[in-house]
A = this chain, B = another copy of it.
Amino acid sequence: MTGSRAPRLSVATILNPRSVAVVGASEDLRKFGSRVLKNTIHGGFAGRIIPVNPRREHIFGLPAVASVDRLANPVDVAVIAVPRTAVRDTITQCAAIGVGCCVIITAGFSEIDAAGADLQEELVQIARRAGMRLIGPNCLGLLNTHARLLLNSSPAMTVTPFHTGAIAHLSQSGALMATTYNRGVEDQARFSTAVSLGNQADLELCDFIEYLAGDSHTRVITLYVEGFKDPQRFVEAVRRCRSAGKPVLMVKAGTTEVGARVTRSHTASLASTQRVLEAVCREEGVLLLDDMRGMMQSAEVFARFGVPAGDGICVISGSGGAGALCADRLAERSLRLASFSIDTREKLETLFEPSQLGNPLDMGALREKSFTHVGDGGLAIAAADPDVSAVLVPITTGPMLGEFARAMVESIRATGKPALFVVIQGSADDGAREILKQEGMLVFETLDEAFRVLECWMAASMFPAAVGLPERPPGLPEKPVNHELPLLPTEHEVKTLVARYGIATVHEQLAGNADDAAAAAQKVGYPVALKASCRSLVHKSDVGGVFLNLEDEQALRAAWDQITQRLGPDLESCLICRMEPADAEMILGISHDPDFGPMVLFGLGGLVAEIVDDVVLTPAPVDPQRVLALLQTLKLWPLLNGARGRQKLDTDAVCNMISRLSWLGDDLRDMLLELDLNPVMVRRQGEGAVAVDARATLKTASQNINTGLSSARSD
C-alpha cells in the first residue's frame, strides 16, 4: 500500500457537483443503476449527467458512454451500480480518469463477511492513492434539493413532491432514508440534503456533520445512527453544530440489548450502552428520539420556529374528552399547560361557560352551541396569552369544521406562535385537514405524534449551556509519573489511589494476623469492620469475607477466626476499617466506554442500589457545578438536600469528590475498565463524605501515572 493523496473534492463540492456519471445505468427499473439515473433526470439537475453502459447508446434519452475510461472529461461524482464482482475494476478506472467521488450503491462488502471487508478495504486504498473519495458501499446515494440533485436509487424520488428546505438528514440505513424522506415531505418536512452513508468505508457520518454545520441551506440536522466510526470526532462535530445554532436530532438503533445484536449484524457497528449515549447527548445538546417520522416532524418545527421561547402549552379542542386525554399525556411527559392571565380569562369568559373555562379549552363549552356563527373557538385570545409558547389543537368530528379551521388559521397567523393541529378522525374532517395543509399549518394524524414533537421541541430549552473543558482542581497528582498499579488492585490499593486525588476514605489498616488486627482496631477505634483482602476476591461479602459492627476485641477475634476458616489459604490479609454512620449512602464510579471514553457515575448507593437504579452518568472530567445540577435530577436528591425536616447533607463535599474522581478517570483513560466507591457515606453539611468500600479493574497495568501507591504502601 502506498500513501494517500489529498482529496480532489471537498464534501461541499461532492454534494454540489458539476457533473455526475451513473455507472451501470439502464432502463430496467428493477435495477439500481436505472433508478439512480431516472431520479437524477427527474430531479432536474442542471449539471452534466452521463449514463455509462457498454450495450446502449442512449438511456432515458441521454447519450451513454460504453465504459468509465471513455468518459471524455473527468466527472465530479460517479455512482457505481454494477455487480459486486465488477466493483474493483470500476473503482480503479474511476480513480485513473480523475473522478472526484464514487458513490458505491453495490452491497456485499464488510456487512457480509471478512472477504467482503477485505475487498472494501482494497477499494478504499485504490481511492485514497488517487485522492478520490468514496460514499458507501452498500448505500442508496444522496440528495441535495438546493442543487436539484436526487442522486439515489430509491423509487420514492419520483413520487415525492419536490421542495427545498432546511432539514439535513444523514442515515446509516438507505431504505429508512428514502422512506423518511417520502413520509417527511408528505408530513410537511422540507429537506436540504440527505445522504445514505452505507458502510462508511471512506466518507463517514462526521464528514457530513462537519459540512452541514457550515451549510447555509441547513438549519437542523437529523441522524439515523447504528454505530459511530469515530465517536470522539462525533462529539467535536456536534459541538460545531451547537456553536452554529443548529439543533442535532438523532434516532439511534441498538439502544436495547436485542436491538444492539441486530445492528451488529446489520452494519457490524459496535454500540456503546444506551446510558452512555444518553449522557453524551445530554451534555452535547443532541436530541434523542425513538422514531424516524417523529424526528422529521420535530425537525420541521425547529426549522420553522427555532428553539421555544417558553414552555407553556395551550390546548384547544372541540371535545372535552380529547382535551382531558391531552392533559394526561402532556403531564406524563412533564409538559406544562400554560396558565391564562386574568386578562385572557376575562376575554374568554365572553365566549365560554365560565364553569367549564380552562386550559385545555373545550369548544363544547362555548356558549353558542348551534354554530350558526362560527368563530375560531377562542384561539386568538388564548394563543395571545403571554404564557402560551405553543398551541395544540386536537380536531374531532363536529359540524362546521372546515369553517373553524379557516378561522383558526387566521388567528394563529396573527399571533405568530407555533400551532400543532391534530386531525384525529379520518374522512369526517369536513375538509379541515386539507384546508390546514394548504395554509401551511403543521398537521398531525395522531395525538402521539404531536406529543412527541412538543416533548422534543421543549427539551431543546432545557439543555445545559455549552461549556469549555473543566479546570483541573488544585492538589491532584500530575501525570505522567512512573508507578505501577496491578490489574486487579485490592480494596486498600484503590482507596490509596483515590485518596491521592483528595477523596476522603475511611480510617483503616491492614493486618496479617489476629494480634495485628486487634492493635489496628485499637488505633482506628471501635466499632470496626473486618474485611478479607485478597486480589482475586471481588465480591467479599458473597463468600462471608466481611464482618461489620464489631464492638470490641472479643468480637473482632471471633470474626478473624471465622474469616480464616472460610477463606483458608486464599486469605492474604484483612482490612480493619472504622465503621462510618450513614446519613445517606451513595455509589460513585468510573467506567470506561469503548466509544466515548471515561464516564463518571453517581447516585443512590448501599444495599438498595442493587435493586433500585438511581444513578446518573456523565463524561469525565466534570466540574462540581455541573455535578450539582445532575445530582438534583436524582431521586436521592431530597435525602441529600434535607427533605422532611432532616439535616441537609454535605452536597458540596459530594460534588467535589465526584469531580475529583472524574479527573482520576480522565487521567487513567482506557487503562481503567471500572472503579466503584460504594458505599460513600455522606455526612451532614460541613462534615464531608467518606468512601467506605472500593474496588477497581484495570485493563492494562499502569506504568505512566503517579498513582501514589508506593508512598501508600510504605505507610
Contacts and interface: CB of A to CB of B under 8 A. Distances in A.
A50 B291 CA distance: 52
B175 A397 contact: yes
A31 B370 contact: yes
Interface in A57-73: none
B364 A325 contact: no
B610 A612 contact: no
A330 B253 CA distance: 12
A446 B449 contact: yes
A324 B156 contact: no
A614 interface: yes
Given A355-B112, A398-B175, A262 B360 contact: yes
Nearest to A157: B428
Contacts of A183: 424-426
Q: Which of A29, A155, A178, A290 has the most chain B CB atoms closer than 10 A to its own CB?
A: A155
B266 A176 contact: no
A26 to B, nearest CB: 11
B542 A353 contact: no
B322 A176 contact: yes
A371 B178 CA distance: 18
Interface in A351-408: 353, 355-356, 358, 360, 362, 364, 369-372, 396-401
A1 interface: no
A507 to B, nearest CB: 21
Interface string A567-610: 00000000000000000000000000000000000001001101
Contacts of A256: 327-328, 331-332
A554 interface: no
Interface in A397-437: 397-401, 424-428, 430
A325 B400 CA distance: 41
A266 B323 contact: yes
A254 interface: yes
Interface stretch (A89-97, A342-350, A638-646): A638-646
B446 A327 contact: no
A322 B63 CA distance: 38
A399 B35 contact: yes
Nearest to A185: B426
Interface in A159-199: 159-160, 171-176, 178-180, 182-183, 185-187
Contacts of A607: 639
A608 B608 contact: yes
A567 to B, nearest CB: 15
Interface stretch (A240-248, A313-321, A651-659, A668-676): A313-321
A472 interface: no
Given A321-B266, A428-B159, A447-B291, A331 B542 contact: no
A180 B426 CA distance: 9
Given A226-B324, A645-B542, A290 B259 contact: no
Contact of A330 (B258, B320, B369, B611): B258
Given A610-B643, A612-B608, A612-B635, A319 B397 contact: no
A702 interface: no
A447 B446 CA distance: 12
Q: Which of A178, A397, A448 has the most chain B CB atoms closer than 10 A to its own CB?
A: A397
A172 B255 CA distance: 39
A649 to B, nearest CB: 13
Given A427-B160, A427-B186, A445-B445, A258 B319 contact: no
A30 interface: yes
A320 to B, nearest CB: 4
A53 to B, nearest CB: 15
A539 interface: yes
A251 interface: yes
A224 B319 CA distance: 13
A715 interface: no
Contacts of A635: 611-612
A450 to B, nearest CB: 12
7 contacts: A31-B370, A112-B356, A154-B398, A155-B398, A183-B424, A610-B643, A612-B614
Given A174-B319, A176-B396, 7 more contacts: A154-B398, A175-B396, A182-B426, A186-B426, A262-B323, A446-B446, A539-B644
